[in-house]
A and B are shown apart, each in its own frame.
Chain A
Amino acid sequence: MRFLHLTGPIALYGLRTVELARTPSVNARGSLVFGRYEAPGRILLFEQQNPPWRLPGILNQADTNRFKRFGATVAIPPGSQVTIVEWPKESLKRFMLEGVLVHELGHHVLQQYKGKRLARVARTRDHEAVAELFASRQRLLVTAVGKLAK
């Protein structure tokens, strides 16, 4: 709740619920799902397994960098095709709040202020881009004022 208020009223207006939920049925590729925005104004944060995560295959560079940015250590044992992601201390919580929740808030902001709250107001790709842009700005802002510093 405290974290939500740090993002300011723009992101919170029209927001109905933020829910902690069980992971939905995963698709055939078994990719991890962290969160979901459902118009209008519903954010779901999904449960995550205890670290370390053993992910089949090699994680791509963008996701590796993203995890590392929030304090994760990503390792690929030599000769294996497995990626091990370790989340020390509270880095996973930080990832879920600053990485996932703020991203979902970005979806909400776009959907809310278009005025067509139940309609698809942008292509999924554009929606994701706007949400990620909003999240990155919010992270910079919050970091700059030091409000998230422990």
Chain B
Amino acid sequence: MNQGLTLIGDGIENPANALVMKAAAAMFGAECRFRDTKGLNQASSTQGGEPFMTIEADQIPALHGRAVAFDNLPGAAELYGYQVGPDFSVMVGNERRGLSYECAKLATDKVQVPMLSRRVNCLNVAAASAVALYYLGGMRVGSMAVRGEPNNRRPEVLLLGAGDHVELGSAIRSTAAFGWGRVFIEDRQQIWFGCERAVRAEGRAAARRGKNEILSIPCATGATHGFDRVTIITTQALGAPLHRVNLSSGPSQLIVIPDEKSVDQSAETWSRLGKEVEFAHLQIPAMEFPYHYRITTTIALAEISRQVGRRPTAKVPRAGRPPFYDHRLARLAEAAGQSVSLEELVDY
């Protein structure tokens, strides 16, 4: 357990989100506590779950030297490249309302992850927690790239074999929020296409399908693709660390994010996806942790989004200063000082 790191959920309502947040904290060796103002523990006990560890607002400053408010608050800095030090707590807010005023005013740092979608402007709270812990918990990366045409660098994404419809829905939500307009889905478990009504409704709700306009393209199981470069992102120590791999090669590159719970990676024929296949892995400190597809997907997409970058912010040209002309003496001190001969100097 990393004693210097605590994840705090402020007013989380959904016990399922709280569970995934606990899993995210476990991935990074952090403690996870909840400020229970929305009846989280009551809802959890109703569903037969265990109670969550709670914390009060006035206890938060005593936990660590710094408290990071992770929300799209006014004046929040960008997550990428942000250095907060070794001893801090991360506060994330309610699913609908975000961080409460009581917690926001305790924050020593305000950080947000840049969202590129106009329609989906936030991530699932558990997925966002994982992204925050990944980047703030010691990952040294640069800031988000700035390019003229970032979409030319945006690779295609294939979500492969997801086993849970809510996890897949949250992953699709993250894909849209990070700026993708379409995503390939290889739906082996039939949880997204052609599923029963209840599953479909829950999955679409997790994906915020009401305002999420992303085009989800079904891919047949085992279908062959012709991408120049295929990058498979996994939590296993395969290939290079994620941030060292070029994930911004444009539409000729396919990023594959398999659900490691339901896909046996060693049995897959990756060469069917493209010519050149490489692996990249998330650098996760814990050896064993509860796997959630939305967490790995969102972290991977956040890193791709960082590398793909965004357009430069438009600069308003400053009004030029009107010209002025001074009337002054051009050369006032032409020969300041005094001439001294060598003899005078020697006599002196």
| Chain A contacts to B: CB under 8 angstroms | 29-40, 55-60, 62-63, 80-81, 100, 103-104, 107, 111, 118-120, 124, 127-128, 131
Contact = CB atoms under 8 A, between A and B. Distances in A.
Nearest to B323: A120
B322 A36 contact: no
Contacts of B329: 31-32, 55, 59, 63
A57 B336 contact: yes
Interface string B309-348: 0000000000010111111111111111110000000000
B317 to A, nearest CB: 14
A55 B332 contact: yes
Nearest to B328: A33
Interface of B: 320, 322-338
Contacts of B335: 57-58, 81
Nearest to A66: B329
26 contacts: A29-B332, A30-B333, A31-B329, A31-B330, A31-B331, A32-B328, A33-B326, A33-B328, A34-B327, A34-B328, A35-B326, A36-B324, A36-B327, A39-B322, A39-B323, A55-B329, A55-B332, A57-B331, A57-B332, A62-B330, A100-B327, A103-B327, A111-B323, A118-B322, A124-B325, A131-B325
Contact of A57 (B325, B327, B333): B333
B325 A37 contact: yes
A32 to B, nearest CB: 5
A81 B337 contact: yes
Contact of B331 (A38, A60, A100, A107): A60
Nearest to B338: A81
Interface pairs A-B: 10 shortest CB-CB: A57-B333, A38-B324, A39-B322, A35-B327, A33-B328, A31-B332, A120-B323, A57-B336, A34-B327, A37-B325
A124 B324 CA distance: 9
Nearest to B336: A57
B325 A107 contact: yes
B327 A33 contact: yes
A119 B321 CA distance: 9
A60 B330 contact: yes
A34 B334 CA distance: 19
Contacts of A30: 332-333
A33 B323 CA distance: 17
A26 to B, nearest CB: 9
Contacts of A37: 324-325
B323 A81 contact: no
Contact of B336 (A81, A107, A127): A81
Contacts of B331: 31, 57, 60, 63
Contacts of A128: 325
A7 B326 CA distance: 21
A116 B323 CA distance: 11
A136 to B, nearest CB: 14
Given A33-B327, A81-B337, A81-B338, A38 B332 contact: no
Given A31-B329, A104-B327, 7 more contacts: A33-B328, A35-B327, A36-B325, A57-B335, A63-B329, A100-B327, A127-B325
Contacts of A57: 331-336
Contacts of A55: 329, 332-333
B125 to A, nearest CB: 53
A68 B77 CA distance: 64
